Chain A
Amino acid sequence: MKKRNWVLFMAAAAAVVLVLPALCVVEQSVAAASPAVVDVKIDNFSFSPPTITVKAGTQITWTNADDIPHNVVSTDQSFKSKVLDTDEKFTYTASKPGTYTYYCSIHPKMTGKVVVQ
């Protein structure tokens, strides 16, 4: 390789080497801040945590640990589970940003909130 081309090549390689770790660091910090799956526990006639804040695309899983059936119904009807008996689960992937109140339509005093960013 001619000397000028060699210098250009090394400069480009150096640039790539310098940039690559920075890219990796950025990706790692994004992954730590936003888990792809969030769990909500249903027990003692309540949802816990009662409010969750997630990034769009996060999968939310509700698990009924109570000894009575419950369900998960958003007040705007955007998501609705079937009736969950003990140990049954409902999964929903929140795609559209917004604040979604939901409740158990069998025991309507049970309410929760999903904030999608």
Chain B
Amino acid sequence: MPQHNSNDVILHDHNRDGVDRRGFLKCMAWAGTGALCVLQGGVLKSYAFDDASGMHKAAKADLSFVQISDSHMGFNKAANPDVVATMKVAIDKIRALPVAPEFILHTGDITHLSKPSEFDTVDQLLKSAPTRDVFFVPGEHDVLEDNGQQYRERYGKNTKGDGWYSFDKKGVHFVGLVNVMNLKAGGMGSLGNAQLEWLEDDLRHLSKSTPVVVFAHVPLWTIYPEWGWGTDDSAQALSYLKRFGSVTVLNGHIHQTMQKVEGNITFHTATSTAFPQPHPGEAPSPGPMKVPAEKLRSLLGVTDVNYMRKRHALAVIDSTLE
């Protein structure tokens, strides 16, 4: 854990958008080691993971949930021959959280090959999570061969189209989007017109002070187009979210944590519970990255999110499996 002062309040607002770039970069560096970055109306306040005041904030949260991602059940190559074991460790981590989550968001690539037995195993493992309330969005590995039919049979109740939906919890509006269907040659993730129309309509009547959390598998901002790390038509979706005071976008797909703040929108990607992938451009391709066995669990993890209603703040905490 790097040494730093707790309660580093951001003081310099050069771009006059409420975000101190140096402070933000500090938060980025700490995210992988379990730092608490609290976004309050666009201003980032950071706390060390073991800082009592930070955890105190988490304890006072009005709403607490966990994001897990990319369990790739069925994967068995060198990068991780036992994805069941690492998913079990992730669920144990969730059970050990100081504040029990009200529900879990799984941002896709639940399975590796869309096999029924793989879906079954994940359902079985999640039975020991501290909450049975789990919301899913599919990854490209969950909709192989059948255009997502099996995925929707299992998790598509009350969803529209390819499996998109929204719900509300304690005044926070959650939107699950599907950006892994009908992918075009040479393209990246894709939302499609039907879903974009539904999204515009879904958000229309919300007041701009409603905190919004959007979750989808492929990142909704362009991280690295050469590897398909982005969504071709996300700009339109983001335009519908611009007017809201607090928007948090939670994604998976890239198997590493990354964060970006753009106005009132915070983008965050989660680690996988199965295997890590390289940083952009640091390998010939974005495939599974082999690391020494003793290092694997430090590159996998879960994300804890706490919402404080009074401050309109969503605190996103990443922690690794080891």
Q: From residue A26, how far is it (CB to closest CB) to chain B in Å?
A: 40
Q: From residue B104, how far is it (CB to closest CB) to chain A in Å?
A: 25
B79 touches A109 (CB 8 A): no
A69 touches B79 (CB 8 A): no
A45 within 8 A of B: yes
Bound Cα distance A102, B288 (Å): 24
Residue of A nearest to B232 (CB): A108
A44 touches B185 (CB 8 A): no
The interface residues of chain A lying within 8 Å CB-to-CB of B184 are: 108
Among A75, A82, A103, A109, the residue within 8 A (CB) of B188 is A109
The interface residues of chain B lying within 8 Å CB-to-CB of A71 are: 144
Interface residues of A in 78-94 (CB under 8 A from B): 82-83, 85-86
B228 touches A44 (CB 8 A): no
Among A46, A68, A101, A109, the residue within 8 A (CB) of B288 is A68
B98 within 8 A of A: no
Bound Cα distance A103, B188 (Å): 12
B185 touches A75 (CB 8 A): yes
Bound Cα distance A25, B17 (Å): 78
B322 within 8 A of A: no
B140 within 8 A of A: yes
B226 touches A83 (CB 8 A): no
A69 touches B112 (CB 8 A): yes
Residue of A nearest to B228 (CB): A109
A109 touches B287 (CB 8 A): no
Among B77, B140, B227, B288, the residue within 8 A (CB) of A106 is B140
Given A106-B144, A109-B226, residue A45 in contact with residue B287 (CB < 8 A): yes
The interface residues of chain A lying within 8 Å CB-to-CB of B228 are: 107-109
B116 within 8 A of A: no
B187 touches A82 (CB 8 A): no
Bound Cα distance A44, B226 (Å): 13
A85 touches B186 (CB 8 A): no
The interface residues of chain A lying within 8 Å CB-to-CB of B287 are: 44-45, 66-68
B144 touches A45 (CB 8 A): no
B187 touches A85 (CB 8 A): no
Q: From residue A111, how far is it (CB to closest CB) to chain B in Å?
A: 5
B186 touches A109 (CB 8 A): yes
Residue of B nearest to A107 (CB): B228
B78 touches A67 (CB 8 A): yes
A58 within 8 A of B: no
Q: From residue A65, how far is it (CB to closest CB) to chain B in Å?
A: 11
Q: From residue B74, how far is it (CB to closest CB) to chain A in Å?
A: 9
Residue of B nearest to A102 (CB): B185
Residue of B nearest to A46 (CB): B285
A83 touches B145 (CB 8 A): yes
Q: From residue A78, how far is it (CB to closest CB) to chain B in Å?
A: 14
The interface residues of chain B lying within 8 Å CB-to-CB of A46 are: 285
Q: Contact flags (1/0) for A32-70 with B, using CB distance below 8 Å?
A: 000000000000111000000000000000000011110
Interface residues of B in 263-291 (CB under 8 A from A): 284-288
A111 touches B141 (CB 8 A): no
Residue of B nearest to A44 (CB): B285
Among B77, B114, B141, B183, the residue within 8 A (CB) of A105 is B183
Q: Contact flags (1/0) for B61-87 with A, using CB distance below 8 Å?
A: 000000000000000011100000000
The interface residues of chain A lying within 8 Å CB-to-CB of B144 are: 69, 71, 83, 106
22 CB contacts below 8 A, A to B, read: A44-B285, A45-B285, A67-B78, A67-B79, A69-B141, A71-B144, A75-B185, A83-B113, A83-B114, A83-B144, A85-B113, A103-B186, A107-B140, A107-B228, A108-B183, A108-B184, A108-B185, A108-B186, A108-B188, A109-B226, A109-B227, A111-B185
Interface residues of A (CB under 8 A from B): 44-46, 66-69, 71, 75, 82-83, 85-86, 101-103, 105-109, 111
A-B pairs with lowest CB-CB distance, top 6: A103-B185, A45-B285, A44-B285, A108-B183, A109-B228, A67-B77
